[in-house]
Structure 1
Amino acid sequence: MNNKLWLLAALFSASTQAATLSVADNIQLLAVDGIEVKSQGWSAVDSVELSEGKHQVVVRFDGEVKRGSKSTIYTTRPYLFDIDLADRNAEITLPRLTTESQAKAFFERGATWQLALENGVTKPLVGVELQGDGFAAYSDIDAVISAYNRDNGIVMEQGNAVDLQQVSVNVDNETGKVEITGDALIQLKMWYTKASKEDKKAFKIWMAEKDFN
């Protein structure tokens, strides 16, 4: 039986519940919408209930494979996907990988992840392989995801991942002219996510001075 994680408020409400996203065998569900998915006791969480809209999901392959006559655990880097379930249940899947050499070759040449919908349709998933630094680089998966989102101008809006740069910046393909669109709040969020710590601190000071003047 699947173990379901209920991420209250951040992911869904009773009135907006749309579908269940699950992962196939040997796929570990790491995070949803920037929130780490933690194991329930000895059992890993392998499904979540998600509201309608786009969600940011992070998974990795973590399974037992053969190395010659012996078994070993092969684990990949985390992969981040933007998934919109609409109103259908779905499962993230991979081809069956049985040996270490097969798994290494599969991921080194560019893994083909898929989303299997309950109506029988299978769609390819285009994702990003997250890069961590140093030993135990992915022990704090929240920090890795936050860094990726910050560098790419992505924030969470009511539980959904929103690419602020895509929303608010348009480039004319013919002239190369850049046009800033969208409301002022969206623009502020975009530039804030791209600012350094020092710039954010200076901005907060400036904002406080403006609020009291």
Structure 2
Amino acid sequence: MNKWLMTMGLLALPVMTQAGELAAGNNIKLLVVDGKKVQSSFWSETSTVNLPAGKHQVVVQFDGEVKDGSKTRIFTTRPYLFELDVPKQDATITLPRLSTISQAKAYFQRGPEWSLELADGTSRTLDYVELQGKGLAAYSDMEALVADYNREHGITFEEGYAVDLEETVVEVTEKGEVNITGDALAQLKLWYSKANAEEKAAFEQWVKTQAGL
């Protein structure tokens, strides 16, 4: 009887999605994960995050010491954004070893090759978007920069996962024709994600009016 009760109790427990550890390789800084700034202490940078398997948005940059003749200097790139299908196993975002300033500059100028190395020894090349801010303090607020990108491209986060609403709602045929697909809810989410704060407030007020609140 006790064994039966224990079994039923285990079946009643919520099913948790298996999570893996996503790490940043040498001289790679984790900046923003799923729209939220990665918090680091004064003494050390956060180099790993635990993420459930599935689609996530990760923003990193190369930020490390390289040789410049007889001196050593810090070389920092623009932020790079990835839409990752995070596996259940541990994985690390990596770059080839860059030891000199000339080598690092040349590598990023011709287009870097970012890789995701998995715990089982396999690896895959990552597609990326190089984010470009505006003004002198363009990269002082990475979270805001990523939020602007997501609003422009219809990307939101639901239950801890990145959702590309444009991919869900907008379909481009082989002839280049644009069709609006998806249900009404998905379309509303897309336009809401693209709205600014003032437009969102106006829409929310309209919804309350329609609902008689």
Is TM more than 0.5 here? yes
What residue number does 2:4 align with?
Answer: none
Residues 17 and 49 in structure 1, CA contact (< 8 A), matched pair in contact too: no
Which residues in structure 2 correspond to 1:1-213 (within 5 Å)?
A: 15-174=16-175, 176=177, 178-212=178-212
1:193 Cα deviation (Å)? 1.9
Report the TM-score, using the length of structure 1 for normalisation.
0.87
CA distance in 2, matches of 1:151, 1:69: 44
- Give the counterpart letter for 2:101 in structure 1: E
**Structure 1 vs Structure 2 CA RMSD:** 1.9
CA distance in 2, matches of 1:212, 1:50: 40
1:140 Cα deviation (Å)? 1.0
SS in 2 for 1:45: coil
SS in 2 for 1:193: helix
Residues 60 and 77 in structure 1, CA contact (< 8 A), matched pair in contact too: yes
Distance change (3 Å), C-alpha of 1:175 and 1:57: closer
CA distance in 2, matches of 1:91, 1:175: 37
Q: Which runs of 5+ in 2 are unaligned?
A: 1-13
Q: Deviations over 1:130-169 (max 9, x none)?
A: 1111123212111001000000010011111111010112
User: Which is higher, the Rg of structure 1 or of structure 2?
Assistant: 2
1:14 Cα deviation (Å)? 8.9
Report the TM-score, using the length of structure 2 for normalisation.
0.87
1:175 Cα deviation (Å)? 7.4
SS in 1 for 2:44: coil
- Which structure features the higher share of helix residues? 2
- Give the counterpart letter for 2:192 in structure 1: Y
Q: Deviations over 1:57-87 (max 9, x none)?
A: 0100000001111000000011000111221
Q: Which runs of 5+ in 1 are unaligned?
A: 1-12
CA distance in 2, matches of 1:42, 1:192: 39
